[in-house]
Amino acid sequence: MLVLDRRGKPLMPTTPRRARQLLRSGRARVHRVQPFVLRIVDRRVEDSETEPLVLGIDPGFRHTGVALAREQEVPDPRSGRATTIRHGLFLLRVDHRGAVIRDRLSARSALRRGRRSRKLRYRAPRFDNRARAAGWLAPSIRHRAETTVTWARRLAAWAPVTRIDLEVPRFDARALHRADAAVGDRGQGTLHGTEVREYVLERDGRTCVYCGASGLGAASVPLTLDHVRARAHGGPDAPANLVAACVPCNRDKGDREVEEYLARRPAVLARVRRSLASVVQQDLSVSVSRSALCRALQSVGPEVRTHSGGRTKWNRSRAGLPWDHVTDALCVGRVDAIASLPALQHVAVSMGRGSYSRTRMDRYGFPRLRLTRRKMHHGLITGDLVRAVVPSGRRAGTHVGRVAVRASGSCNITTARSTVQHIGHRHITVLQRGDGYRHLRAPVALAA
Ligand SMILES: [Zn+2]
């Protein structure tokens, strides 16, 4: 639990048990609900001891792991050298919406292109105002850097962070696309093989491209690399020829050509082709956004150090931790052991802040609604965290969740379990204003 002093300056995080005690005794107030931040009303940071905290960041394409940890130097009696031990205090996963942004912008540009070629009134050519400023990033990429910086800034305001450890590109795209490098079936053995394997698994979302079995979570299956064009037919060991596949699918496909194997499953074949084609774009955008991220993080305050992804992986396997975005974030940088970590991680899903679109379309593309320009109705904005206490009727009870507002005042509330429709605004109180994220709690991956 994150803790602030009476003036809002960060103190050392505390345990949930201690937080409950502080709240019960009236010594603390709830400063923020999600993620939970306490403010102690009778304490100043000058009267308390704070220890240096490290913020580890593992930026990714879809998810970014962030870990807040206390670092401890322990001298090793045998070698005499100090070993660095980390205690994980707060784990956060940020879910990006870069793909949504990209799709919406392509849809908009397609619409505008169509409109330009329609037979409408004459329009004089515009002056050329299409220059891009230096340092321009695609909106979907800028979004990834900006959301990560937002959370780094927030955590630095809620905890006494003294250093940020940032993981820099794990994948050297040009080196990975060399076809001559030996990978092997499981991509293990060499550092290069490990990197190719990690790269392909990350690109394919750690799921089998043929059957969709996941390599993550409790019901995970072991994933292998499958040669789309078999090595027996001269297929190279390059990411452009490799996909993630579970063992049964890999064995089932064997040396067959992928077109033959997926002859009856055209949708899966299309997915495999898309996956292979997405190679260059993804790693390019990740490395571009990481260098932009590194520059942007300098403005947060604490010193920023960069570390290689290979070191992260090495640290994590030495600590015996399973793969997860947050465990990777905890292992970024120079660390010898992980002493403890929370069982739950906070998940912040980027939701955006609404749309400029003034209508919704039906399935034929005709306008269906007229949306208002106002965002606030009856004191509520879509995305606020609210509590509704409904005294009677079919929806009687207490509902806590994210609200979606209609101008009529009839709201929907998305709780952790379901969406409750048509709740009157009179029953609703705001717990926390919307901040562009949906907040969840999830267990840290326990199975390797
Ligand atoms: Zn499979």
**Which one is predicted more confidently, 427 or 60?**
427
In angstroms, rounded to a whole number, what is the distance separating the alpha carbons of residues 248 and 245?
8
136 sits in the region (left: phi over 0; alpha: psi -120 to 50; else beta) called beta
Quick one: CA torsion of 284, 288, 289, 291, rounded to 10 degrees? 140
Listed residues: CB within 5 A of ion ligand 1: 208, 210-211, 213, 246, 249
Q: What is the pLDDT of residue 61?
A: 80
Residue 131 has pLDDT above 60, yes or no: yes
CA of 412 to the centre of ligand 1 (A): 38
CA of 202 to the centre of ligand 1 (A): 16
Tokens read off for 101: 């942004």
Query: Do 221 and 247 meet the contact criterion of CB atoms below 8 Å apart?
Result: yes
**Which one is predicted more confidently, 344 or 135?**
344
Q: What is the pLDDT of residue 183?
A: 45
Q: Is the link from the previous residue into 75 a cis peptide, with omega within 30 of 0?
A: no
Model confidence band, residue 172 (pLDDT cutoffs 50, 70, 90): low
Q: What mean pLDDT do residues 110-116 have? A: 81
Model confidence band, residue 360 (pLDDT cutoffs 50, 70, 90): confident
Residue 198 has pLDDT above 80, yes or no: no
In angstroms, rounded to a whole number, what is the distance separating the alpha carbons of residues 339 and 319?
9
Pairing of strands 2-4, 380-381: unpaired
The CATH classification of domain 376-436, taken from the options 2.40.10, 3.40.50, 1.10.10, 2.30.30: 2.30.30
Residue 20 has pLDDT above 60, yes or no: yes
Q: What mean pLDDT do residues 338-355 have? A: 90
Is the Cα torsion angle 300, 304, 310, 314 positive or negative in sign?
A: negative
- Rounded mean pLDDT of the chain? 85
Q: How many Cβ atoms sit within 10 Å of the Cβ of residue 183?
A: 26
Query: Do 239 and 226 meet the contact criterion of CB atoms below 8 Å apart?
Result: no
Domain boundaries, the chain: 1-48, 173-261, 376-436
Residue 279 has pLDDT above 50, yes or no: yes
Least confident window among 22-31, 164-173, 179-188, 313-322: 179-188
Q: Report the DSSP beta bridge partners of residue 414.
A: 402, 419
- Residues 412-444 pLDDT 10s: 999 988 999 999 999 999 999 999 999 988 998
Q: What is the pLDDT of residue 402?
A: 94
CA of 169 to the centre of ligand 1 (A): 28
Q: What is the pLDDT of residue 188?
A: 44
Question: b vs e for 188-221, b when ≥16 Cβ sit within 10 Å of the residue's Cβ?
Answer: eeeebbbbbbbbbbbbbebbbbbeebebbeeebb
CA of 349 to the centre of ligand 1 (A): 28
CATH class as words, domain 173-261: mainly alpha
